[in-house]
Structure 1
Amino acid sequence: MSGRTSQTTVGQLPDTTAESPFVPVALTWLVWALLVASIVTLILRVRTGGAWEIPGVVAIDGLTVLMWVVVTFFSGIVHSYSRRYMAGSAQKTRFFATTFGFTLAVMALVAADHVALFGVLWLAMGLLMANLIGTARDWDQAQAAATLARRYFIASSALLGVALTALWWTTGATTISGIAAAAGTLGGPVWLVAAGALVLAAMIQSALVPFHNWLLSSMTAPTPASALMHAGFVNAGGILLTRFAPVVTVDSALLLVVVAIGGASAIGGKLLKSVQTDIKGKLGCSTVGQMGFMLMQAGLGFFGAAITHLILHGFYKAYQFLSAGEQVEHTSPEAAAHTTGRLSSATGVVVTLLTGLAGGALFAVLTGKGTTVDSGLLLTVFVVFTTLHAARSAVQRTALPTTVRYGAVPLVFFPAIVVYAVVYGAVSGLLSGLPMASAPTELTLLHGLIAVAFVGIYAGIETGIHEQSQRLYVALVNAGQPSSDTLLTSTEDYNEY
């Protein structure tokens, strides 16, 4: 304010040109070396095939090598970015050691075949991520967020333990591959307990509604840790369901429940995002919604599509978090209001609808999904809605000339759908050796009802009907709030320097 001065309490910015400590430098180079090794392993896997395993302990298959490449790439980006981001921090070495340990835990998890090893690594992955959330030791809010996340992750691990114990009790198998081989014998109350616990563990890890609070409370984490979390950690729910696909596909009724759960979270994430006011909060709610879409794809029996979704979402969300600072535009609300708007013209509506329908048709032609009356039809419908949403956002950019907006939409989105279809085909090829990697189900009346409800609610959100209810707005604001203990009420509460 005019006439007032403030005292500088933070001090000078750290000298990022100074030589970095040995540990961050060494771990950064090591994780990039792991990426190179992972790519070589992927190439060898594609060319030679076959089973690479230590019987009863680890099994390296297509999903393993694919996730190795993805995880080490994201981790390499985060390590390199953090060299500057964490410069001058007293927690720099510990942060790098924890991040690298998390990377190794995920790499070991996707290779684990013994159920006990898988369960221990699942827990270790969660505890390491909780430590990253609480990187700032002297920040009470960060420690509260870490404690909250740790409780969720321990609960997820406990549920996974229940599922693994029930599956071992039923099948007598101590490995994931052994359980998959005995899936034909599964059924009854014990199977229901195991399958239900697997789904709940995936929901907690992927921060689906109503387990999203830990994710929205985790914004105390350093931005690189948030990028790693949203690009890799939350996707573990999709990996879990893919690994245990033979278990969750025993009864199509359970898959229908998974579709409903995913759809509810996809809608819930979109609604929660609409009332968020900060960049990282919006990105967190977006992740909640995207993980819902991932679960829907798994529920439709297309686990390859779920893995494709989590990979592409990881690339997008890692970029969004690492560039979050650039997204904060110092413009007045009035100026920002003119950059976007509703689809007020008939031309804009037509362009958006045609782009969505043509995108779905292109996806169906390239992948074969949606050409028969099965769950692949709903998968194509979701592609249509995703394209519609993206096209609508592009058309609403009123700051751009009309001809540019309308002409660029098909030129941008059609190649993007081609790329998505190609990636989906490549991922499906790598997962072809996994049991039940693709298990499309027959469409039922309940599938239709879920689809109609989803489309109706989605259309209502897009047209702004939900904004007319003050009660809904208050409910969304409350549901989208992080835990009160993690809220920073004063900038003086945290001063690392």
Structure 2
Amino acid sequence: MEGSTSKPTVGALPDAAAEAPLAPVALTWLMWSLFAASVAALVARVRLGFAPELSGVLAVDGLTVLLWVVVTFFGGVVLSYSRRYMAGSAHETRFFLAVFGFSTVVLALVAADHLALFGLLWLTMGLVMAELIGVVDEWEQARAAAAVARRYFVASGAFLGVALTALWWATGATTISGVAGAAGALGGPIWLVAAGALVLAAMIQSALLPFHGWLLSSMTAPTPASALMHAGFVNAGGVLLLRFAPVVTVDATLMLAVVAVGAASALLGKLLKSVRPDVKSELACSTVGQMGFMIMQAGLGFFGAAITHLVLHGFYKAYQFLGAGGRVERTSPGEKAGHEPDGSGAADVAATLATGLAGGAVFVLLTGKGTSLDGGLLLVLFVVFTTLHAARGAVEHASLPTTVRYGAVPLVFLPAVTVYAFVYRGVSALLADLPVVTAPTELTALHGLVAVAFLVAYAATEAGVHERSRRLYAALLNAGQPASSTVLTNATEYDDGGVQ
């Protein structure tokens, strides 16, 4: 029928420049000013050794200035995007204050040296994120999602409190730097309590198995808040493990357990992503998987690689969330978001294997990792997996023919793994003043077992084996469901919520 192809519209978008409240404008410019100051601090750190401190309270090191730049950049992008997205919303000013407040808390957290201050800021960070998840509080579902998230974040803060108290009791130190200096004498039950609680706090914050429920229940958050959550907040687990690396690296068994937890989460994220029907929850499952890769790198003793991963994943996931609306437009009705067209079986496997080997060789050549019989071999494997997965996803969304896709994946993957290697080298150099940045673990039979199990399960998932079992498919659907109280099923309630 003539005219049937015209693009439907729901009316003109609000003009963000017309009668805009003062807070969004002022806070956006203030955030970008903080970004400029953070870049200046990073340059001063590299060139002049900039390292101010308030003895026993705050200390600025390489990790601090790096995360200042990352946090203020993401904060500036989210606030700028939200000037249009939240224009006209009854929650606009409250939303901007929460985003700015969250960013400010994180800026202080990454500079905190006193144990009590660090713990307080950690808890505050979670509570402000819960506020963002439930910012549209007219929705019963938004309030429920905020309550779910708040319970998880309070639990994370409680575990961290236990860890910090145990470390103070064992070492007598009241600062993170003091604990690091005394970590060599740690051991026994008190150390086990502290290290175990640290790992649990990191797992909750990074939404790792079995604590991924809060992330999958957070879909009520406005899209810019989701971008901030997935690009920044979930990365806090990796930052925590690096800050307390001298504690968690005391025992190789604990590090192996961290690798196993990360591997399970990486696989779960991939499996759950394959059965999700909507873009935002699919991206949430992807984040669970990527955080698994990040924690695996920390468990292998490559904390610099974990920080590199969280920075690069942050940029990638922020772009994906802020562009989620466009992806919905490009997905035809009935087409599963993220579905990869079937390839030609053996040809697809051969092309993927050749591409992965080439990328692994590039990473080894540029970083020197993987040349010894230690955790570096698994680091290369996991970097190749996660980067290749991202490259395949980018090519897949371009809707290219299968034959073209085989050639396009290497063209995306090889530059991506090269960038990863160079960023890793730069980040490792910037973090060189931290007590532990690289502590390669000695490979054991259990490491080999974890790696083989991971490879087999990953290959089976790529082949769609899980889709042939109705029971497994149903189990994955159930495992990926958010809390029932957070699910919005009535379109009228959404319309009444006041969000564009």
Range into which the TM-score falls when normalised by the shorter chain: over 0.9
> Counterpart in 2 of 1:292?
292
> In the aligned structure 2, how far is the partner of 1:390 from the partner of 1:140?
35
Number of equivalent positions: 488
1:336 is displaced (CA, Å) by 7.2
> Counterpart in 2 of 1:384?
384
> In the aligned structure 2, how far is the partner of 1:78 from the partner of 1:338?
24
Provide closer, same or farther for how the CA distance between residues 421 and 333 of structure 1 changes in structure 2, counting only shifts above 3 A: same
Aligned 8 A contact 2:207 2:215 in 1: yes
Aligned 8 A contact 2:260 2:450 in 1: yes
Structure-to-structure mapping, 1:112-261, within 5 angstroms: 112-261=112-261
Amino acid at match of 2:369: K
Amino acid at match of 1:35: F
Structure-to-structure mapping, 1:410-421, within 5 angstroms: 410-421=410-421
> Counterpart in 2 of 1:458?
458
Are 1:496 and 2:494 an aligned pair?
no
Provide closer, same or farther for how the CA distance between residues 18 and 333 of structure 1 changes in structure 2, counting only shifts above 3 A: closer
Aligned 8 A contact 2:156 2:201 in 1: yes
Provide closer, same or farther for how the CA distance between residues 86 and 282 of structure 1 changes in structure 2, counting only shifts above 3 A: same
Aligned 8 A contact 1:266 1:288 in 2: yes
Are 1:430 and 2:430 an aligned pair?
yes
1:295 is displaced (CA, Å) by 0.3
Provide closer, same or farther for how the CA distance between residues 390 and 122 of structure 1 changes in structure 2, counting only shifts above 3 A: closer
> Counterpart in 2 of 1:270?
270
Aligned 8 A contact 1:259 1:295 in 2: yes
Identity of aligned residues (%): 71
> In the aligned structure 2, how far is the partner of 1:379 from the partner of 1:115?
31
1:348 is displaced (CA, Å) by 3.5
Provide closer, same or farther for how the CA distance between residues 13 and 395 of structure 1 changes in structure 2, counting only shifts above 3 A: closer
> Counterpart in 2 of 1:22?
22
1:97 counterpart SS class: helix
Amino acid at match of 1:68: W
> In the aligned structure 2, how far is the partner of 1:398 from the partner of 1:13?
27
Amino acid at match of 2:242: T
Provide closer, same or farther for how the CA distance between residues 348 and 458 of structure 1 changes in structure 2, counting only shifts above 3 A: closer
Amino acid at match of 1:176: I
1:352 counterpart SS class: helix
Aligned 8 A contact 2:44 2:50 in 1: no
Are 1:442 and 2:478 an aligned pair?
no
2:312 counterpart SS class: helix
Aligned 8 A contact 2:115 2:164 in 1: yes
1:371-403 Cα offsets, whole Å, 9 max, x none, are 000000000111232354356557768953566
Aligned 8 A contact 1:352 1:395 in 2: no
Provide closer, same or farther for how the CA distance between residues 388 and 262 of structure 1 changes in structure 2, counting only shifts above 3 A: same
Amino acid at match of 2:267: I
> Counterpart in 2 of 1:84?
84
Provide closer, same or farther for how the CA distance between residues 130 and 402 of structure 1 changes in structure 2, counting only shifts above 3 A: closer
Amino acid at match of 1:229: M
> In the aligned structure 1, how far is the partner of 2:378 from the partner of 2:38?
34
- CA-atom RMSD in angstroms: 2.0
1:346 is displaced (CA, Å) by 4.2
> Counterpart in 1 of 2:5?
none
> In the aligned structure 1, how far is the partner of 2:58 from the partner of 2:399?
54
Amino acid at match of 2:173: A
Aligned 8 A contact 1:431 1:437 in 2: yes
Provide closer, same or farther for how the CA distance between residues 331 and 363 of structure 1 changes in structure 2, counting only shifts above 3 A: closer
Aligned 8 A contact 1:275 1:477 in 2: yes
Q: Which moved more, 1:128-137 or 1:163-172?
A: 128-137
1:209 is displaced (CA, Å) by 1.0
> In the aligned structure 2, how far is the partner of 1:394 from the partner of 1:179?
43
2:77 counterpart SS class: helix
Amino acid at match of 1:277: P
> In the aligned structure 1, how far is the partner of 2:194 from the partner of 2:339?
50
Aligned 8 A contact 1:343 1:349 in 2: no
1:220 counterpart SS class: coil
Aligned 8 A contact 2:207 2:213 in 1: yes
Aligned 8 A contact 1:206 1:235 in 2: yes
1:19 counterpart SS class: coil
Aligned 8 A contact 1:369 1:380 in 2: yes
> Counterpart in 1 of 2:6?
none
> In the aligned structure 1, how far is the partner of 2:133 from the partner of 2:392?
35
Provide closer, same or farther for how the CA distance between residues 372 and 325 of structure 1 changes in structure 2, counting only shifts above 3 A: same
1:166-216 Cα offsets, whole Å, 9 max, x none, are 000000000000000000110000000000000000000000111011101
Provide closer, same or farther for how the CA distance between residues 21 and 464 of structure 1 changes in structure 2, counting only shifts above 3 A: same
> Counterpart in 2 of 1:370?
370
Are 1:322 and 2:322 an aligned pair?
yes
Aligned 8 A contact 1:230 1:287 in 2: yes
> In the aligned structure 1, how far is the partner of 2:337 from the partner of 2:52?
56
1:255 is displaced (CA, Å) by 0.3
Aligned 8 A contact 1:338 1:398 in 2: no
1:468 is displaced (CA, Å) by 1.2
Aligned 8 A contact 1:352 1:391 in 2: no
- The unaligned stretches of length 5 or more in structure 2 are 1-9
> In the aligned structure 2, how far is the partner of 1:96 from the partner of 1:484?
28
> Counterpart in 2 of 1:6?
none
Aligned 8 A contact 1:56 1:113 in 2: yes
Are 1:312 and 2:309 an aligned pair?
no
Aligned 8 A contact 2:338 2:396 in 1: no
- The unaligned stretches of length 5 or more in structure 1 are 1-9
> Counterpart in 1 of 2:72?
72
> In the aligned structure 2, how far is the partner of 1:26 from the partner of 1:142?
27
1:399-447 Cα offsets, whole Å, 9 max, x none, are 5356643333333322221111110000000111101111111101110
Are 1:473 and 2:477 an aligned pair?
no
Aligned 8 A contact 2:14 2:84 in 1: no
> In the aligned structure 2, how far is the partner of 1:300 from the partner of 1:359?
20
> In the aligned structure 1, how far is the partner of 2:221 from the partner of 2:339?
31
Amino acid at match of 1:496: G
Amino acid at match of 2:440: P
Aligned 8 A contact 1:341 1:398 in 2: no
Amino acid at match of 1:479: A
1:16 counterpart SS class: coil
2:275 counterpart SS class: coil
Provide closer, same or farther for how the CA distance between residues 233 and 389 of structure 1 changes in structure 2, counting only shifts above 3 A: closer
1:147 is displaced (CA, Å) by 0.7
